[in-house]
Amino acid sequence: MSQERYSILLAPNSSMMTGPGTNTLLLSGSEGVIVIDPGDPDPEHLERIVWEGQARGGIRHILITHGHPDHVGGAAELRERTGVPISAFSRAGVSLADHELPDGATFDLGDTTLRAIHTPGHRFDHLCFWLEREGILFAGDVVAGMGTVVIIPPEGHMGVYLQTLKRLQQLPIARIVPAHGPVIEDPQAKLSEYIAHRLERERQVIAALNQLEQPVTLSTLVPLVYVDTDPKLYAVAARSLEAHLIKLQEEGRAQVDAYNHWRLLP
């Protein structure tokens, strides 16, 4: 039933940050289709969404996992074509939302329930959508089907992100459908892998700071910490590194001065 329950339409917005593109999800229920993350205003993509929605009984709602352009793109155009509302966690994150969804808000699909779960960390307004009976998590950008997720301050927060991953570990998830990349069939292994990766990166940050023994800038730290990363991606890596450092600072383990030089605290 789960494969018939939802379908994935790949938005034509592939890039360095989005991989193959954003997975737009169409989820069937007793009263029609819920669309999650229209992704891109490309006319052919929107036409595919509308056509498949009509074939499944009509589109009734548009849900947004978070306000990054590769997720909310196409939402305004799809609303104009269908006349259905857009819902997101907050208008602070998705200004065009008609309704705000609190943590735990539910949608009745007839034989199952779709539950919104506030999962901040990648972004403050991030929602996952949990198909309760089937155990399917529509995960947005909390995890990806390939690689890892970028955490960029101030919208992203590494400590909060780790808390989100640990919260999701408590759910009986059977499958994760991410916004980027293929479906994840071993959810607990993926969540554990993501937590281990972040903690290992944190250890690398601490080791690099210890090695240098003096306050240093992000640009000095990046090549030492991200030795496995293409230098073309150092600018993005620096933002993720900053998220790790801010977590250490909040825990009283690191300090930054007025010149953006970081050091460990004894």
DSSP string, 103-117: TT-EEE-SSSEEEEE
Which residues are within 8 A (CB) of 77 and not within 5 positions of it... i.e. 6 or more apart?
Answer: 38, 41, 46
Q: Residue 252 gets which letter from DSSP?
A: T
Distances (CA, A) of 93 to 77, 125, 133, 187: 18, 6, 29, 27
Catalytic residue among 70, 108, 125, 141: 70
Residue 6 parent element (H or E):
strand 6-10
Let me know: does 151 contact 141? Beta carbons within 8 Å.
no
Closest to 239 in 3D by CA, of 155, 179, 146: 155
Structure tokens at 215: 């306050």
Which residue type sits at 248?
Answer: L
Q: Is 37 a catalytic residue?
A: no
Q: Residue 134 gets which letter from DSSP?
A: T
Q: How many CB atoms lie within 10 A of CB 187?
A: 21
Let me know: does 130 contact 114? Beta carbons within 8 Å.
yes
**Catalytic residue IDs:** 70
